[in-house]
Structure 1
Amino acid sequence: MYIDSFDGSWFDHPFWRTGFLLTADRDLAKIRDSSVTAVVIDVEKGADVGPETGSAPRGHSSQAPAKPASPPMPAKARTAEPASAVQRPSGQEQDYEHASQLVLRSKREVKRMFAEVRLGRAVDAERVGALVDDIAHSVVRNPSALINLARLKSKDEYTYMHSVAVCALMINLARHLKLDEKLIRDIGMAGMLHDVGKTTVPDTILRKAGPLTDSEFEVVKRHTERGYRVLQRSNGVPDIALDVSRHHHERVDGSGYPFGLKGNDISIYSRMAAICDVYDATTSDRPYKNAWKPPEALAQMRLCEGQFDEDILSVFIQSIGIYPVGTLVRLNSGLLAIVVEERDDDFTCPVVSSFFRVSDRRRTIVQTRRVDAVFERILCAEDPADWGFDDWETLRDTALTQASRTTHRAA
């Protein structure tokens, strides 16, 4: 059947958009398990139109209940899964695996797109849109998975992965701002294409390890206007993407470029992009600067008084959490821990896996629990390199996997 819309807010349903053909049983199960009370279907677009009597007239939508009215199975009637049954990956493991594959594919796609633009070709908006659709779906499934994986990039792949990360961050921010869902694809494309003008900047400047000279910085600043012109000559690129490519370096206080726009003269989309762009840039290793820890980056952005839209920045911080998943933190109990899950009800008290004792610099038995502000609290974020964790990526990924399995068994 063709889903035309859902009853209620789009935050209540598990899809990034409405208006799609329902073909998979797993998607039907998602609707039944959600808080949606009804769906509106379009019988002209669906493949389920039949001659049965009593069906809705063609050209009209009909409303159908999303959940069966049958009572839940009594607790005694439920049977446990046999011990010999095949252990399937938990939902969070699947989300991270799916996001990991999507990140790799996205990197290839952005590399291809940038290479074609360097050759003077237009952007293939249809192909970019399809990639953005997949990213949006992944963000809705598990925002932490894709956003954190996209942030973990090497200096060499920064130019490409930055586009993917900003795309995901903007989609996630748009959802938390409760913007019209019909704009989400355009906002995601704006994030993906915001730096396409960097294709006109020589690699010797982009990859320079030291500070840029004034003349080199002037070359970099031209990427906004050049990117805008590239997108202008590309068919199917939404106006939001054109606006963001030109204005994502504008600042609310007028200190940005290329035009020094102020306040509401900058669109909400470019104000969103400015925040997402700076956050990902400062939390990524770049040729001329090592990454800040996410909490440090957010704190520094707060200190840039007047540069960013304060209301949007507050929502952005809520959307990613003060201590994003995968962050190394120090607890007042004298332990180091990895943040493995964020909590919407209190961003200062995430779920963590402690594994290292500070006093004697020894690893301990891994314990996963929610930080309790009464008995335990996070003192600060830590840099893994300061503690000699050469196997940090393995440590982090193992903690996330084990925590997801624990959550799955407890569910």
Structure 2
Amino acid sequence: MLKKIDVAQLRTGMYIQELCGSWLDTPFWQKSLLLEDPTILEKIRKSKIRQAWIDTSKGLDVLSQQDESKPEKPAVPEPAAPPPAALAPSYDQVPQISMDEELGRAAKIVGKSKQALLSMFSEARMGKAVNSEAAMELVEEIASSVMRNPGALIGLARLKNADDYTYMHSVAVAALMIALARQLKLDDEKTREAGFAGLLHDIGKMAVPSGILNKPGKLTDDEFVSVKEHPAAGYKMLLEAKGVGEIALDVCLHHHEKMDGTGYPDRLAGAQISLYARMGAICDVYDAITSNRPYKQGWCPAESVKKMAEWSKGHFDESVFQAFVKSIGIYPVGTLVRLASGKLGVVVEQAAKSLLMPKVRVFFSTKSLAYVTPELLDLAGPGLQDKIVAREDAAKWGLKDINRYWLGDAAPG
């Protein structure tokens, strides 16, 4: 039976179904766990969490007031209120907020997700089954951020280094899948499943030697064969886990298939590839080519969209790709652009009215070749005559660390 109690009543042996409060305030990433370690209990008591849901069918109940040395006798069953997660609003009801408002929260979610996936993927490398319930909890946090403002978490997850690429790539693809699912008007459950599939699509890379995954140079033929085996390896891992549905299994196995039948592992073509695998292929490639890798620097987001459009006829489903572009923008967050006025700026946020008129923070003048006071321009705003005339390469103008102009206080110190 579910029971809501104060954290002061928690004791080892209890099964915590959920801590009451923000996931970001909890001292660990798991949502549900058997409380066995006294140090975890102490961390909970020192956190901002004040109440918790326990499941007395899986662990100990609260102590009785008469004798705190003995567990109380089971109470007469009463209707249990659903835990807070069950009362969460639908995604359509999540209020949208500005990039500045969401960035701080998104940064915390990204950091905590990285920690969780590092643990989850490490266990998979050791042959342990994937904890699908914990993975879905991560998806819920990622989805909530994407619903509030998609550019924040998607933009942050793109900024990864070689050491955490595999984990952050999974976070990014989950977020991109969720944003794309909403653009395709999939319902909450299908959106959730798409994000779950994105989070675990590359789990099979845990079967590939790390020396090959992180190799800075070109792979040998044998090494490339080893990498190409990761979809099948991941599929097998997910089959052995509980609670993994058909969508996640399909995306894991088929996110490297291409519409013209030249992909792998099964050389599927056209209608043989499911909608979700088509979505996965697009999201996987976009994050891969925009991210810094051991063997190459990531491309500009807008340049990546352009190149993917050129590949789309043989590689991607064109209608799904068009929906993907609408979900992230022609000039995605973080793109350096030149305006008709001669100013350079970084795209901060998309506009609902037009993909060509995002919000841009300008900071450099190409006429005076000098930095100017940063200013946020809403190109879709009334009376503003400026417009984007081209995307630009930061190196061409000698600019460094342009991400700080859209990250603001969320920029790394």
SS of corresponding position for 1:205: helix
How high is the TM-score relative to the length of structure 1? 0.73
Alignment of 1:124-273 (within 5 A): 124-273=131-280
Say yes or no: does 1:295 pair with 2:302: yes
User: Hey, what's the Cα distance between the residues in 1 that align with 2:307 and 2:321?
Assistant: 12
**One-letter amino acid of the structure 2 residue matched with residue 320 of structure 1:** I
CA distance in 2, matches of 1:296, 1:327: 9
Q: Secondary structure at the match of 1:123?
A: coil
Alignment correspondent of 2:33: none
Letter in 2 for 1:122: A
| Counterpart contact for 1:170–1:187, Cα < 8 Å | yes
Note if contact 1:285-1:291 (Cα within 8 Å) is conserved in structure 2: yes
1:383 maps to 393
Alignment TM-score, normalising by the size of structure 2: 0.73
Residue from 312, 315, 324 that aligns with 2:320: 312
Among residues 373, 392, 407, which one is paired with 1:397 in the alignment? 407
Can you list the C-alpha shifts for 1:46-79, whole angstroms capped at 9, x where unaligned? 67xxxxxxxxxxxxxxxxxxxxxxxxxxxxxxxx
Contact 2:174 2:198 in 1 (8 A): yes
1:360 to 360, 364, 368: 368
Q: Over residues 315-334 of structure 1, what are the superposed CA-to-partner deviations in whole Å (9 max), with x where a residue is unaligned?
A: 00000011122221111221
User: Following the alignment from structure 1 to structure 2, what is the Cα–Cα distance between the partners of residues 400 and 100?
Assistant: 7
Counterpart of 1:82 in structure 2 is: none
Change in 2 beyond 3 A, CA 1:295/1:108: same
Shift of 1:372: 6.1
Match of 2:162, SS? coil
Unaligned runs of 5+ in 1: 1-22, 25-43, 48-89, 402-411
Distance in 2 between the 1:297 and 1:390 partners? 20
* In structure 1, distance between residues paired with 2:125 and 2:397: 42
Change (3 A) 1:350 1:94: closer
CA contact (8 A) 1:326 1:400 kept: no
Note the aligned Cα RMSD (angstroms). Answer: 2.4
User: Alignment partner of 2:112: what SS?
Assistant: helix
Worse-superposed segment, 331-340 or 98-107: 331-340
2:329 corresponds in structure 1 to 321
Q: Does 1:111 align with 2:118?
A: yes
Which ranges of 4 or more aligned residues in structure 1 deviate by more than 6 Å?
none
Give the 3 Å change call, closer, same or farther, for CA 45–312 of structure 1 in structure 2.
farther
Spell out the pairing of 1:333-372 with structure 2 (5 A cutoff). Answer: 333-371=341-379
Q: What per-residue deviation string (whole Å, max 9, x for no partner) do you get for residues 170-222 of structure 1?
A: 01100110112222221111000000000111111111112212211111000
Please say if residues 202 and 252 of structure 2, whose CA atoms lie closer than 8 Å, have aligned partners that are also in contact.
yes
Measured in 2, the distance between the counterparts of 1:335 and 1:397 equals 19
Check 1:335–1:93 CA distance in 2 against 1; reply closer, same or farther (3 A cut).
closer
User: 2:17 maps to which residue?
Assistant: none
Distance in 1 between the 2:402 and 2:361 partners? 14
**Counterpart contact for 2:334–2:403, Cα < 8 Å:** no
Q: Which SS does the other structure have where 1:289 is aligned?
A: coil
Contact 2:104 2:410 in 1 (8 A): no
Give, in whole Å, the separation in 2 of the partners of 1:214 and 1:220: 10
Aligned equivalents of 2:277, 2:80: Cα separation in 1:
36
CA distance in 1, matches of 2:121, 2:130: 9
User: Deviations for 1:283-303, whole angstroms, at most 9, x for unmatched residues?
Assistant: 000111211111111111111
Tell me, yes or no, if the aligned pair for 2:279 and 2:320 is still in contact at 8 Å. yes
Letter in 1 for 2:348: V
The separation in 1 between residues aligned to 2:314 and 2:164, in whole angstroms, is: 31
Name the CA distance, whole Å, in 2 between partners of 1:46 and 1:227: 38
**Take 1:370 and 1:203, find their aligned partners in 2: how far apart are those partners?**
45
1:329–1:382 CA contact under 8 A, matched in 2: yes
Amino acid at match of 1:157: D
Cα contact 1:338–1:399 (8 A) shared by 2: no
Structure 1 equivalent of residue 340 of structure 2: 332
Give the CA deviation at 1:381. 2.0
Aligned-pair identity (%):
48
Name the count of aligned residue pairs. 321
Is the 2:301–2:334 contact (alpha carbons within 8 Å) kept by the matching residues of 1? Answer: no
